[in-house]
Amino acid sequence: MHRRLAIFTYKVLVNTNPIPITTATSTTLLYSQCNPLNPRTNGFAFFRLLSFTPGHRRAQDPDDPSNLMKEDGVSVCSQMWIENFREPDRIVSNLTTYLRRFELWVLAYQKVCADDMGAYMPRSAIQRSALEDLLALRNAVLDNRFKWGARLDFLIKSPKDKTDYQSLSKRKIKAILTTTQPAAFQDKIVQEVLFMILEPIYEARFSQKSFAFRPGRNAHTVLRVIRRNFAGYLWYIKGDFSTILDGMKVGLVISALMRDVRDKKVIDLIKAALTTPVITSRMEEPKKKTKRKYQKKRVLAEDEPKPDPYWLDTFFGFAPEEAEKVPSWGHCGILSPLLANICLDELDRWMEGKLKEFYRPSKSDVIWNSPEGEAEQGNTSWPEFVPTSGPDKTRKMDYVRYGGHILIGVRGPRADAATLRKQLIEFVDQKYMLKVDNESLPIEHITKGIMFLDHVLCRRVVYPTLRYTATGGKIISEKGVGTLLSVTASLKQCIKQFRKLNFLKGDRDPDPQPCFRMFHATQSHTNAQMNKFLSTMVEWFRYADNRKKIVNFCSYIIRGSLAKLYAAKYKLRSRAKVYKIGSRNLSRPLKEKKGSSPDYHNLLRMGLAESIDGLQYTRMSLVPETDYTPFPSNWIPDHEKALLEYISLDDPKTLEDQRCSIRKQGLVSSQDYISMLVWNYKRNAIAMDQLSLIKSGGNNIEKEQQLLLASDKDAYDQKSKEEEGHEDGFDVAEI
């Protein structure tokens, strides 16, 4: 047995001739090497043949969607944000490369599906056919074959759209082509892709004075900026340019867009979206002869999104005038607010130039007395104990914009505000072809109260006692005059909104009205809906000085409305009887009758009754206090702060500057310190801590660093000799 194995091994090792691999002799060679009748054939010959044959790998199919998804779409978007914030002033001309990235199209598809279906669709759940249709849509956009506003011919459809458009009747086709229809699913995807590409470009360029339709900024940010920066201003100019949000000429929009973007394909796509007509006509519905007295409730389909809940729909009715209008231009969809901000950014830049031009500091002023206008003495949101007007005081103004509404605060004489208003009217006429008169840009004094975002800006005059040390060390106390900027929620505006929503009637003595929309809901569900509404109102009035008063008033209106509803529903005749049975916060069940059913608490304990939450904020002491958290002067959103910090840390110059600063101060960085510890332990098998370095002299520290960080063997040998000399009791230098 062993002899046979040795002979077989010898034959295998002897048969090591190279196999000539040619196309002509490959078949003959394969037959001769693998022929079972050939005595020299063995298993290794066939293996060597396969290992030496040239491999023909299958080329990747460029039309395969799976081969185009090399990265995650979120990482591609993050890279775009980083690039644009690193170089915010560069002119972008290569956006077509991002338009080709299939990862962005997949991410846009996921976003649109989440909005359309109400549920997020992960990438693994996207079907192969949907990816192929999405690739066809991308290729159509790149080849200039895409048409906005398609009604019947779609390249990709929503997953919930099961309509077969080829088998529709002529009547349905006519209705689709002539009536108002929601935006096509493929249009939303293209809009989302363009939005993901353009948003980081312009967010890095937009002014810090605009706050609407931008991530990380909202109406609360405007109120905090006003409280922080607008104290001490005497005259206010309030402007309404919301007609710009209704639409602008295509040439003005494209020229504003081409200041920073020079990509022809992207510009042509947006221009086509603006110029393609939108069908808004409606067919006349036939009048019904008979109407049912009681109509059945419509049952939603399985994939149909639910409508907004009652509390959210009610809160939307409280939207302030400045936030009511959202631009919608042509087929741009979600691109419309971004395009509006791009056009109005020219106004922001013009106003920033006027702010610098108008600023004239005065050394006799308490605040704003530096030449640059950046360094401030004291807090501008606290009273300034000097008169707020006069020729010897600082002239300054500030500006904010929320959508199409602007607010300008002027510290100085009224003539300066009038001059600025005249220049603003001329600029708007030349730039936006918008005719504005003095009535639409009123100049109001702070004592009259300035309404902005349903909050009133007013001035409270205080007379504090000022104590200061005069010449000679004498302490003088005298009465001063100061002003405090107050931001309060408008009770009049709140009553107006409640009246619009049919929650009350009357002007002088508001009377709550029952909300019959919740008539068929249970008491538990109704209370829960109103509690959510009240919680949202508490958050909305978070920065109002009269937060407790305004929220308590809202709670009174809601509680009275529900009491009237329950009185009509359970036939209790009056609100007093409802409060007597259901308590002040309506937390007790109203349909329980004594002797006819077990106790409510027993049913609730057994799980046979639904728990009822009482109304919140029925007393003023339960309403939280106003949020007076300090607001930084140069505030930026958290996402921009993280981007700038990442860019700074990614820059090699930052690290080099830190190292130079550490060397100048004679410090050791944490990385070098750990390296010193590890090197010392490897050399001497002794762990050296920072305390031993501090106790030793400055020269010894340098020697230890050279010893621990250098890899020169001579330095190590010299140090070893010195340590041995000290252990023997004599100095090496004496030898």
For every residue of 393-442, DSSP letters joined together read S-BEEEEEEETTEEEEEEES-HHHHHHHHHHHHHHHHHHH-----STTS-
Strands 482-489 and 235-240: unpaired
Q: Percent of the chain beyond pLDDT 70?
A: 74
pLDDT at 303: 58
The answer on pLDDT for 379 being more than 90 is no
- Residues 101, 71: Cα–Cα separation, whole Å: 9
Mean of pLDDT values over 132-156: 92
Residues facing 360 on adjacent strands: 395
Please say if the pLDDT value at position 735 is more than 60. no
pLDDT at 473: 79
Please compute the mean of the pLDDT values over residues 63-74 and round it to a whole number: 83
Mean pLDDT of all residues in 406-415: 92
Q: Which residue has the higher pLDDT, 298 or 408?
A: 408
Q: What are phi and psi of 512, to 5 degrees?
A: -65, 145
Residue with tokens 């363009």: 194
All residues at 6 or more sequence positions from 36 whose CB lies less than 8 Å from its CB, including other chains: none
When pLDDT is cut at 50, 70 and 90, the band that residue 683 belongs to is confident
pLDDT band at 469 (very low <50, low <70, confident <90, very high): confident
pLDDT digits (tens, 9 = 90+) for 484-502: 789 999 999 999 999 988 8
Proportion of the chain above pLDDT 90, given as a percent: 41
The arrangement of strands across the sheet holding 455-462 comes to: 450-452, 455-462, 482-489
Mean pLDDT along residues 58-67: 68
Task: Give CA separation, 318 vs 498, 518, 527, in Å.
Answer: 8, 19, 20
Q: How far apart are CA 421 and CA 238, in angstroms?
A: 10
Answer yes or no: is pLDDT of 367 > 80.
Answer: no
pLDDT value for 658: 84
Stated pTM of the model: 0.78
Note the pLDDT of residue 722: 56
Q: Is the pLDDT of residue 460 over 80?
A: no
Q: For the ranges 70-84, 175-189, 362-376, 664-678, which has the lowest average pLDDT?
A: 362-376
Q: Is the pLDDT of residue 559 over 80?
A: yes
Among 314-328, 475-489, 502-516, 713-727, whose mean pLDDT is lowest?
713-727
CA distance 530 to 312: 10
pLDDT for residue 45: 46
Closest by CA to 235, choosing from 453, 413, 437, 490, is 413
Residue-level pLDDT at 166? 83
What mean pLDDT do residues 657-665 have? Answer: 85
Distances (CA, A) of 112 to 101, 121, 133, 268, 515: 17, 10, 15, 23, 35
Between 298-302, 440-444, 672-676, the lowest mean confidence (pLDDT) is in 298-302
Query: What is the predicted pLDDT for the residue at 717?
Result: 56
pLDDT tops 80 at residue 41: no
